């Protein structure tokens, strides 16, 4: 069950990474739009000195859009990194717990062997029974540890949707930024025609 959950978490991480790649492609398109806007600003500067204030405002808007895009991407990547780290840590904890279960099982086997061997020796039998009791306690501790590890995987999986939501927010931010740039370019064209 834990392995299936780990595979689901890994698939979620892969999908989140694909979302980042799509967001990066969107950023590239936005940057191309910004370059076109800057070229339009240069052309406006050549012939329209009156448009300088408008150009400064448009430039500031473009800079703010870029900052918003970068911050959104950074936050999304941080969320995915934290989710991956949580999944890896939980997986390591489960591996350690399984190793401890195997070791504790071996201890139980050895204790039973000692009980059988020491059946004519009461002192040795008591000592072997105490060893068996300690081995059983070890199994109980390992089971609690395994439970905590599984809870850690659930927490890591729960962290993945937040990372994916962050990517969705970045995509919406990209859409708004692109719309803003288009409006700036459209406004510059109208301003150029009117002046």
Q: Residue 190: pLDDT above 50?
A: yes
3-class state of residue 48 by DSSP: coil
SS (H, E, C) 19-69: HHHHHHHHHHHHHHHHHHHHHHHHHHHHHCHHHHHHHHHHHHHHHHHHHHH
Q: Give the Cα separation of 74 and 86 in Å (integer).
A: 18
Q: By CB neighbour count within 10 A (0-12 exposed, 13-18 middle, 19+ buried), where does 82 fall?
A: middle
**Number of structural domains in the chain:** 1
Work out the pLDDT band at 104, boundaries 50, 70, 90: confident
Instruction: Enter the DSSP assignment of 164.
Output: H
Q: Residue 23: which CATH number?
A: 1.20.1260.80
Comparing CA positions, the residue from 24, 56, 17, 64 lying closest to residue 38 is 56
Write out pLDDT tens, residues 18-57: 766 666 666 666 666 666 666 666 666 565 555 566 666 6
Range of the domain at 185: 2-194
Q: Show the tokens assigned to 179.
A: 């719309």
Q: Are 175 and 65 in contact (CB under 8 A)?
A: no
Q: Are 47 and 194 in contact (CB under 8 A)?
A: no
Q: Residue 86: pLDDT above 70?
A: no
Q: Show the tokens assigned to 82.
A: 């934290």
Q: Residue 128: pLDDT above 60?
A: yes
Q: Are 86 and 8 in contact (CB under 8 A)?
A: no
pLDDT at 157: 67
Q: Residue 133: pLDDT above 70?
A: yes
pLDDT at 1: 45
Instruction: Enter the DSSP assignment of 114.
Output: H
Place of tokens 């895009």: 69
Tell me how many helices (H) and strands (E) the chain has: 3, 0
CA distances from 145 to 7, 81, 88 (A): 21, 24, 16
Residues contacting residue 144 through CB under 8 Å, at least 6 positions apart: none
Q: Give the Cα separation of 12 and 30 in Å (integer).
A: 27
């Amino acid at each position: 069950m834990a392995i299936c959950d780990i595979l689901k978490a890994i698939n979620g991480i892969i999908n989140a990474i694909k979302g980042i790649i799509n967001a990066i492609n969107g950023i590239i398109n936005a940057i191309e739009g910004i370059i076109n806007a800057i070229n339009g600003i240069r052309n406006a500067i050549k012939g329209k000195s009156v448009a300088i204030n408008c150009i400064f405002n448009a430039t500031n808007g473009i800079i703010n859009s870029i900052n918003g895009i970068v911050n959104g991407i950074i936050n999304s990547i941080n969320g995915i990194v934290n989710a991956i780290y949580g999944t890896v840590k939980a997986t390591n904890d489960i591996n350690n717990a399984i190793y401890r279960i195997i070791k504790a099982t071996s201890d139980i086997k050895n204790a039973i062997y000692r009980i059988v061997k020491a059946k004519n020796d009461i002192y040795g039998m008591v000592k072997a029974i105490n060893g068996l009791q300690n081995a059983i306690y070890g199994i109980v501790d390992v089971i609690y540890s395994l439970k905590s590890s599984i809870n850690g995987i659930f927490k890591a999986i729960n962290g993945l949707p937040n990372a994916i939501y962050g990517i969705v927010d970045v995509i919406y931010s990209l859409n708004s930024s692109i719309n803003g740039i288009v409006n700036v370019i459209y406004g510059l064209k109208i301003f150029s025609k009117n002046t």
